[in-house]
A and B are shown apart, each in its own frame.
Chain A
């Protein structure tokens, strides 16, 4: 699913880039194609997030990037009112959610909850991933946002 609105937060927020060592590059490249990737150990099948070089369970360095469905549950949340970045002065409040993915070992991902920033937020509620493309910078990047499942 693609975010049809321009973006949840204003243009000018920090731009995500893969590290110089390339650890998270597969994730960011896939997000451009609206594919959600998570790491899984090729040795013992443990799911990992965020990106790491080694499996914490078996110490294998052989980690696969696996496509997972963009379905999750809200694990926790917050509503920010105090602007922590200059471009946010006209954009508060906004909602951040931590979403767990039951189909991927309950790994958790941060995103925004799309929709009314004043809406109530329910821990445990089902949400779907929404890909938010940013082409205002070059190269562009894509954020993974979340919205309540219909």
Chain B
């Protein structure tokens, strides 16, 4: 029987982003942002947007493929895909879904995209509940537990308790993102460095998170164009290949009212092993890491579950010098990510992972062959993916 894998079958032909804005600052409508990012990715790939025949996104993106296909004059829409589940957990999942469509012949050129104008719609950092609540919300919202920081802070606090995680580990994650943003002119926090003092003196959002532990709220859009691997060498950019993608979460992760059996996890305990199995590599082979920062502490958990360090060794491993390009042991979030580049719901992490393989990052790690992304820790389903250079095939 033919081996079932995505490894090496699909390539990223192009990446594109809009200007990134603070929330409410975008001069353009969210749908227009989506179009701009898609056209930028096509220009990067050297193709016409009319060659796109599939769309994949996540987190109930409001900009539906049928409208996009009509607006762009797509002759034949072959794949229209939404990765179920809220939050950024679908970032790598959408890449995997798009790649699966290409690998199985359902579509030939699929765009993975995410557009978000939090200024034009509800902000994520506020509770979004009505005067009356029912279902699971009835067991949390009346007690003042409504925002993502609160929901996931509970899990993060349990993880910190179980393994004696120090606040300095969380601070290092924030410092690394801000450090990398200082060399990235696209970043919202470009020119606004973070110091340990500034971090330590920032206000609490909800313990265990201070202000700088929490992602930004932004307006913008990002997109990646995926094609069959055979086509990639004929396109404009250095081909970047998908080595693996995995999604999901462990046993009963979605049990209601905070009853997941494995509570103090980032939901990757079964996803990460499946990712490495498909990619045919391990954490030791990874040159650079993009790890979704809804909250800094979640990055720590994600990296543990992806095998970069033992949970008991977190306080030693998560030192700033280990996390920064070009020479850290695990260069992390090299564009500034959700904390300091832009909260593009994590899709900016896929774009950065591709840049690292191409050698185009503003915080480039030398000779990157293997570039890993973890999407949406502590949500369910979550996902991760690995990109590689031609040398990895």
Contacts and interface: CB of A to CB of B under 8 A. Distances in A.
B316 interface: no
A79 B143 contact: no
B206 A85 contact: no
B246 to A, nearest CB: 23
A24 to B, nearest CB: 7
Interface in A102-116: 107-112
Interface stretch (B49-57, B109-117, B236-244, B251-259): B251-259
Contact of B259 (A14, A49, A123): A49
Contact of A14 (B136, B137, B149): B137
B134 A17 contact: yes
A76 B132 contact: no
Interface string B111-144: 0000000000000011101111111111111111
B132 A13 contact: no
Given A84-B127, A98-B258, A78 B144 contact: no
A19 B135 contact: yes
B263 interface: yes
A120 B137 CA distance: 27
B29 interface: no
Contacts of B140: 110
Nearest to B206: A80
A82 B204 CA distance: 7
A82 B206 contact: yes
Contact of B161 (A24, A111, A123, A143): A123
Contacts of A143: 142-143
A141 to B, nearest CB: 8
B207 A79 contact: yes
B206 to A, nearest CB: 4
Contact of B157 (A23, A76, A84, A110): A76
A18 interface: yes
B135 A9 contact: no
Interface residues on A, range: 35 or more
Contacts of A108: 257-259, 263
A139 B201 CA distance: 45
Contacts of A17: 132-134, 138
A35 interface: no
A84 B143 contact: no
B262 interface: no
A97 B206 CA distance: 13
Interface in A52-77: 52, 56, 75-77
B149 A82 contact: yes
B208 A78 contact: yes
Contacts of B139: 16, 24, 50, 109-110
B157 A77 contact: yes
Given A9-B143, A78-B207, A14 B150 contact: no
Interface of B: 125-127, 129-147, 149-150, 153-155, 157-158, 161, 203-208, 252, 255-259, 263-264
Given A17-B134, A78-B208, 16 more contacts: A13-B144, A14-B130, A16-B141, A17-B132, A50-B257, A51-B256, A76-B263, A77-B157, A78-B153, A81-B206, A81-B207, A84-B126, A96-B145, A96-B150, A108-B257, A108-B258
Interface of A: 9, 13-20, 23-24, 28, 49-52, 56, 75-82, 84-85, 88, 91, 93-94, 96, 98, 107-112, 123, 143
13 contacts: A14-B131, A14-B133, A14-B142, A16-B138, A18-B134, A24-B134, A49-B257, A52-B256, A77-B154, A80-B144, A82-B125, A85-B129, A108-B258
